Amino acid sequence: MSIDIKHHTVTANGIRQHYLEAGAGAPVVLLHGFPETSFAWRHQIPVLARHYRVIAPDLRGYGETDKPAGGYDKRNMARDLRELLRALDIDRIALVGHDRGARVATRFVKDHPEVVERLVVMDNVPTRIVAREFSPAVAKSYWFFIFNQVPDLPEALIAGREDLWLRHLFSDWCYNPLAIDGDDFRTYVEAYRRPGAVRGAMADYRAIAEDVEQDKADAHVRIACPTLSLWGADFHAVGKMFDMAAIWSEMASDLRTFAVPQSGHLPQEEQPEIVNAQLLDFLRDWKG
């Protein structure tokens, strides 16, 4: 069965938001990470859309969504999603977030618990815990957390070299260094050659200090809805470095975990069949 994936734009929370939509039924929202866009979900949308109404926005600062100068703290990025859902007249969702999208999703479920039926977080160590556990070893793998926060310099160094920058990130972060290649790789390169695209992604990281303070303020509040934490078993900065089951046990009271084999940081792109099976199983009872 062919799935029709449509592009839409809506002005919500003061910015023009671009999102992909496919399917019908109970809503499932997919939030991408860095350095990606909603294109990251190209292997999931056709599969999930056979059963659900799938919505995959470009986050603030990314893809075809606006890239304003500010508003990148995760509480406001979660508000971006809340207002998008209001514009679409959606009251309750299953929420899936990868990397930066998982940070937005975690803040969203804490700030708007009544909206989230179940939560999936993919290859994400919560911001507060990265800060808490920071060490020379963590700094080596999380160098980009620091680099991306430097004002203006990343934009100056990356401009005209977006392919070199992305090739390093994808090759270093994936189990198969060429997992993101060919037309898929070129799609990301073109996305980051758009005016303001690199600055938007950097702005996401430049909100880290504010994000940590938000996370500390409600660190005692555990996520109550059913939560699935997936991560790449072979990523040096997540599954190889942290006890992910223990970390997410701190975060969520109703938790399921799964380490995706032969996967680095991008399990939804590196091992889509495994990830899709996990998502379909976890979402099975979500009827809207």
**pLDDT, tens digit, 9 for 90 and up, residues 129-180:** 999 999 999 999 999 999 999 999 999 999 999 999 999 999 999 999 999 9
Residue 89 CB coordination number (10 Å)? 6
Measured between alpha carbons, how far is 90 from 71 in angstroms, rounded to an integer? 23
**pLDDT per position as a tens digit, 187-237:** 999 999 999 999 999 999 999 999 999 999 999 999 999 999 999 999 999
175 in catalytic set: no
Q: Residues 18, 32, 98, 265: which is the catalytic one?
A: 265
Measured between alpha carbons, how far is 253 from 271 in angstroms, rounded to an integer? 27
Residue 106 CB coordination number (10 Å)? 26
Asked whether 62 and 125 are in contact (CB, 8 A), the reply is no
| CA-wise closest residue to 95 among 28, 37, 33 | 28
Question: Which runs of consecutive H residues, i.e. helices, occur in the chain?
Answer: 45-48, 74-87, 100-111, 127-132, 136-141, 143-147, 153-158, 162-173, 182-192, 197-205, 208-217, 244-251, 267-270, 272-282
What CATH class does 6-282 carry?
A: alpha beta
At 137, list the tokens. Answer: 């070893």
The arithmetic mean of pLDDT across residues 270-274, rounded, is: 98
Residue 181 is predicted with a pLDDT of: 98
**pLDDT per position as a tens digit, 61-109:** 999 999 999 999 999 999 999 999 999 999 999 999 999 999 999 999 9
At 129, list the tokens. Answer: 């815990």
Q: Residues 73, 205, 211, 234: which is the catalytic one?
A: 205
Confidence of residue 2 (pLDDT cuts 50, 70, 90): confident
Buried b (16+ CB within 10 A) or exposed e, 229-255: bbbbbbbebbbebbebeebbeebbeeb
Q: Residues 58, 66, 80, 99: which is the catalytic one?
A: 99
Task: Name the strand (E) or helix (H) holding 230.
Answer: strand 227-232
Specify the pTM.
Answer: 0.98
Asked whether 103 and 78 are in contact (CB, 8 A), the reply is no
At 231, list the tokens. Answer: 């991560």
Residue 84 is predicted with a pLDDT of: 98
At 78, list the tokens. Answer: 């979660």
Is the bond into 272 cis (omega within 30 degrees of 0)?
A: no
Question: Which runs of consecutive H residues, i.e. helices, occur in 159-243?
Answer: 162-173, 182-192, 197-205, 208-217
Confidence of residue 1 (pLDDT cuts 50, 70, 90): low
Asked whether 78 and 112 are in contact (CB, 8 A), the reply is yes
Place of tokens 């929420």: 95
99 in catalytic set: yes
Measured between alpha carbons, how far is 152 from 147 in angstroms, rounded to an integer? 10
| CA-wise closest residue to 75 among 213, 206, 247, 200 | 213
* Residues facing 10 on adjacent strands: 17
8 in catalytic set: no
Asked whether 85 and 75 are in contact (CB, 8 A), the reply is no
Boundaries of every domain in the chain: 6-282
